[in-house]
Amino acid sequence: MLAGVNATRMQLLYLRKRVALARRGHRLLSEKRDEISRQLIRIAREIRPLRKRVEAELLETCRRFMLARATMEPEDIKAALEVPTKKFSLTIEFARVMNVKVPHLTKEMAGEIICYGFATTSGELDVALLALERAFDHLIELAEKEKQAHLLAIELQMTRRRVNVLEHVVIPELDETIRFIYNKLAEAERDNTSRLMKITDIIRA
């Protein structure tokens, strides 16, 4: 950066403004990095137990379906589930966390999940479908939080890179250039002072 630098007072003032702006940007980005880290830790603490709960609920649902299959004929299961009456829709809205767009999922469900008569079906199938319905809320919440964590992690990585570039490249280079110009100006000032003293001595002689 020192090659071709104009060692002038104007350039010195310009670089001092730039380094002040870079330090301010570094401080703001560091605060953003720290806040995103806190948000990620909070979400991670929420995700861990939620994932365990979802896994347990889905495992129980699968177990109930297995029991239903064991107590029903395959064609009866197919006929019972052939025409679903439960309608499901998902709405995605976006909020901002530290200037990062994160999704918020809202489900809408209508109708009954049990869409068959009881003459040829097992009670285990009823229990399995109701367990699946209960698992939906936690499954959607888990998907929302994991997506939020993913987006925040990407933003955290980008912010860390910017902080590192400012801290280890931009600000040190600006400081070095400022010192270079300051030394050049000081050297020029000393030369001017020396010439003036010589001229004064000549005039007095």
pLDDT tens digits for range 36-72: 999 999 999 999 999 999 999 999 889 888 888 888 8
Distance CA 163, CA 170 (A): 10
Predicted pLDDT at 126: 83
Which tokens hold the place of 112?
């009954």
The position carrying tokens 């109701």 is 130
Q: What is the pTM of this model?
A: 0.75
The pLDDT confidence band at residue 4, using thresholds 50, 70 and 90, is low
Q: Would the pLDDT of 80 be above 90?
A: no
CB distance 19 to 174 below 8 Å: yes
* Least confident stretch, 27-31, 66-70, 157-161: 66-70
CB distance 115 to 83 below 8 Å: yes
Predicted pLDDT at 205: 64
Distance CA 102, CA 155 (A): 11
Which tokens hold the place of 74?
């395959």
For 9-197, which CATH class? Answer: mainly alpha
Distance CA 40, CA 152 (A): 7
